[in-house]
Structures are given as C-alpha cells and as structure tokens.
Amino acid sequence: MARISLLLVTIALAGAVCDDAAALAKIQVPGVQVALYRYGYYKGPIDGIAGPMTAQALRAFQRSKGLEPDGVAGRRTRAAFGPLGGHLFGERMLKRGMAGFDVSVLQFLLAKRGLSTRYFNSNFGSVTERQVRRFQRRAGLSADGIVGRRTRAALISGHASRHDTRAVRSAGSRHVVRPGETLSSIAARSGTTVSALASRNKLDPRELLLIGTRLVVPSARAAVSRPDVVASLNRWAAHYGVSPELARALAWQESGFQNDVRSGIGAVGVMQVIPATWFFVERFVIGDPIARTVDGNVRIGVAYLRHLTEEFRGDLRAALAAYYQGPASVRRRGPSRETRHFVANVLALRGRV
C-alpha cells in the first residue's frame, strides 16, 4: 500500500473515536485527490486509492508550497489546500453551509453509493444535503441531512444502500420505455440514431412513444456515421458556446470523426478523451454523469474545450494546447513542439471539415 494511506492512519481523528480508525484513515484519500486535482497536480481518477500517482502529486504540491515533501496530508499540507483543506472526514458533524476537505470526502462517498452530488466542489450546499437525505432514507436512518456518526459509518460501509440505476437501464441491447423518454433521448444515451432506432423497431418517429414499449437498441458502433458525429458536434458546440468549426476541426484532428479510435494512453472516441478528463468534466464542468456513447464523448470533449477556453481567458491556442498536453503542463513548461504542431493543424482545419 502506498505511503500516504499508511501515514494517514496515524493522524488523530478528533471526535471519531468510536469509528474504525483504519477505515477513516483510508477514506481520507479522495479528499487529497480532489484538492490536488483542483490545483492541477493530479490527473488520475478520484477513486480513493492511494496509488503512486496520488503520492507523487502530493509531494509535488508540498514542494511548491515550501513544505517537506513527506507525502503526508497533515495539518500544514491541508492548510495549504486553502478552501479545499481543513478538517478530516470524521472530525466533525457535517451539515449544510460547511466546506472543506471532509466535504470533498462526503461527496465522493455519496457518488460511490450511487448518489451524484453534481460537483466535487467541497461545499455542502442544497444538492449535497438532498443527496445525504436520500442516502439516509435508503439506509433506514433519520433523514435530517446531517452527517453524524451513524450516517458516516453507513457511508463508509455502504450497508443498506442501493444504487439508483434509472439512468443506465438502456445500456444493453433491449430497453423498456419509461415515463418522459423519447426516441431521441434513448438514441443519444445509447450511442445510436433516431432513424436507426425507429427502423429497427418498425416505429414512426413522429408518433407518440408509449410507456412500456419494448425496444431493440441497435449496436452503437454499427449506427455511427459521419453525419451523426457532425450533428452531435454542432449541437454541443451551440450548447456550450464553442465555434462549431473549431469543434469539428478538433474532432477531425483527434480521430477523423471515428469513435472506435483508442490511443496508447487510453484516450478514446471522437474527441479522444482520457478517463481522468472524462471524470473531471463530469464532476467539475457539467455536474452530471455522461453516458459512454458517441454523443456523450462529443459532449465531454466540447465542454472541456469550453472550460479550457475560459481558463486561458479566450486564448484559443493555449486552450487547444492544454486540450492536447494538459493545462498544468502548459502552464509550467509551455506547449511542446508536438503540441504546437497539433494546434497549428487544428486551426488550419477550421472551416474545412
């Protein structure tokens, strides 16, 4: 096990003496990861696993703050995290209006139990309170929205919780229509098209879709075509206020509009999104889980491009460089030669694809 997890066990957890110390120590890791992610030092998944990437990022952060790079998320290190630092999870009762390190851990645990809090923002707001109440009801606890010892223990153990699977039922080849669904929403979530879905099930897309209708969902890969990808790019570019010409140029440079492309570092799909970026955009930019479909891949990529454009204050070259190389790397070292070529190619493709 990595050094960070072992050392966290030794940290005194005031007010949590009745909880299992080892479990509480291990569960602090996502709080460290969220803070390091926000500061640009960690680009792995927020998974609560104290692996080498987390330890390396923590030491790099400590060195940047003039602290001893011991890989321990002690009080001085957590103070250096600013609003993302503070109390360890289990040191205090949590309720609406609080913020800090322990709230990040709380939001991670809620997401782990199937209750997305929209953002890992370290703030205990109305959405987090609502999800805490939902979890408490599932666990048979008093739904007061306050995270005390019993709620904390249930969150850590996962006992009596059950995942909300309503949003992912259509991932297979068959799907039963639920209230509020349309052919377009099912098609987008499944990575297919309305025409392919209607044709496969002998439906008229102009007619009302009846609740309870059993659908056969065509293969996502078989249904993808260039017009579908372009339509998705244009739609999400308009949604996020990104130039559609730029979005299409980026997608073409990354994959040639092909969704089955996979790079050596794990980047996938039309927009060549790596898992860490997908997670970041879901949690910090969009605030909702996004289906692993062609349309979802495009949405993640376009939303991330918009985020980077804002982060680099409208500098498109810097935003594209950060998309390819990573924002933290671009700030520290500037664009590499390979990155500069990538940016030049994207800009040259604008209006041509």
Q: Given this model, what pLDDT does residue 188 score? A: 64
What share of the chain in percent tops pLDDT 90?
39
- For 57, the 3-state DSSP assignment is helix
Q: Given this model, what pLDDT does residue 303 score? A: 96
Buried b (16+ CB within 10 A) or exposed e, 84-110: bbbbbbbbbebeeebbbbbbbbbbbbb
pLDDT band per the 50, 70, 90 thresholds, residue 106:
very high
* Two structure tokens written together for 218: 């065509």
- pLDDT tens track for 233-273: 999 999 999 999 999 999 988 888 878 777 767 788 899 99
- pLDDT tens track for 283-292: 889 988 898 8
Tell which wins on pLDDT, 106 or 5. Answer: 106
For tokens 């372009």, the residue is 230
pTM reported for the whole predicted model: 0.49
Q: Which amino acid is at 245?
A: E
Question: What does DSSP say about strands 174-176 and 214-216: parallel, antiparallel, or unpaired?
Answer: antiparallel
Calpha distance 160→153 (Å, rounded):
11
pLDDT band per the 50, 70, 90 thresholds, residue 21:
low
Calpha distance 78→136 (Å, rounded):
29
Tell which wins on pLDDT, 302 or 179. Answer: 302
Q: Which amino acid is at 269?
A: G
- pLDDT tens track for 326-353: 998 999 999 998 899 889 989 988 988 8
Asked if residue 7 has pLDDT above 70, the reply is no
Domains in the chain: ranges and CATH? 3-157 (1.10.101.10), 166-222 (3.10.350.10), 226-349 (1.10.530.10)
Three-class SS string for 11-26?
CCCCCCCCCCHHHHHH
Q: What's the mean pLDDT when you consider all of the chain? A: 81
Spacing of C-alpha 70 from chain mean position? 28
